[in-house]
Amino acid sequence: MALATMTSQRGQVLVFVALALPIVLLPAAAFAVDAASAAAVHARLEQATWSAAESAVQQIDADALRAGGGLTLDQRSVESVARDALAAEDPNATIERLAVDGLYVTVEAAERLQLPLSFLGAPAVKLRAKAMARLTLGYESPSSFLPFSVSTL
């Protein structure tokens, strides 16, 4: 009699594991899919923001330079180029803040992402990225540390 009771209990444990395992694993799998999706979109947003800052910082104010005013950035061109570059790299991203300080350009962008599964928590998240670029002057002469070939003839 004891053997018959033990055999029926083994089946109960199997049913419990079969029912409990998906309850534990499904949320973990959904979180993994959402996290991977958010990481991929955030990487694309960071790349697009960096590209926008780098493109924008190259917009020199040619009129000020010709007039002897030194090297400055054209504010209007910086804004236009930054928006165009960001839209070309990531059409879903928007510029939240764009600042020009001397020869520095700072671009802060954001993107709203609808999570694919959103099993736990909010169905959407807002991702942000920030990039700063600086325009540097060229050099007047080659570096003295570079090896030059010397002819003995």
Q: What is the pLDDT of residues 48-64, one digit of tens each?
A: 999 999 999 999 999 99
Q: Is 145 inside a domain boundary?
A: no
Residue 42 inside a domain? The answer is yes
* Residue 78 falls inside a structural domain: yes
> What confidence tier does 19 reach under pLDDT thresholds 50, 70, 90?
confident
Q: What token pair was written down for 101?
A: 């300080």
Instruction: Determine phi and psi for 80, rounding to 5 degrees.
Output: -65, -45
- Two structure tokens written together for 146: 């570079």
**Is residue 19 in a domain?**
yes
Tell me which residue of 96, 93, 103, 104 sits closest to 41, measured CA to CA: 93
Look at residue 5 and tell me if it is in a domain: no
- As to burial, measured by CB atoms within 10 angstroms (0-12 exposed, 13-18 middle, 19+ buried), residue 95 is middle
Q: Could you give the number of structural domains in the chain?
A: 1
Residue at 52 is within a domain:
yes
Q: Domain limits at 125?
A: 15-134
Domain assignment present for residue 29? The answer is yes
**pTM value?**
0.74
Q: Which residue has the higher pLDDT, 87 or 65?
A: 87
pLDDT exceeds cutoff 50 at 150 = no
Does any domain span residue 91? yes
pLDDT tens digit sequence for 105-126: 999 999 999 988 866 677 889 9
Mean pLDDT calculated for residue range 70-74:
90
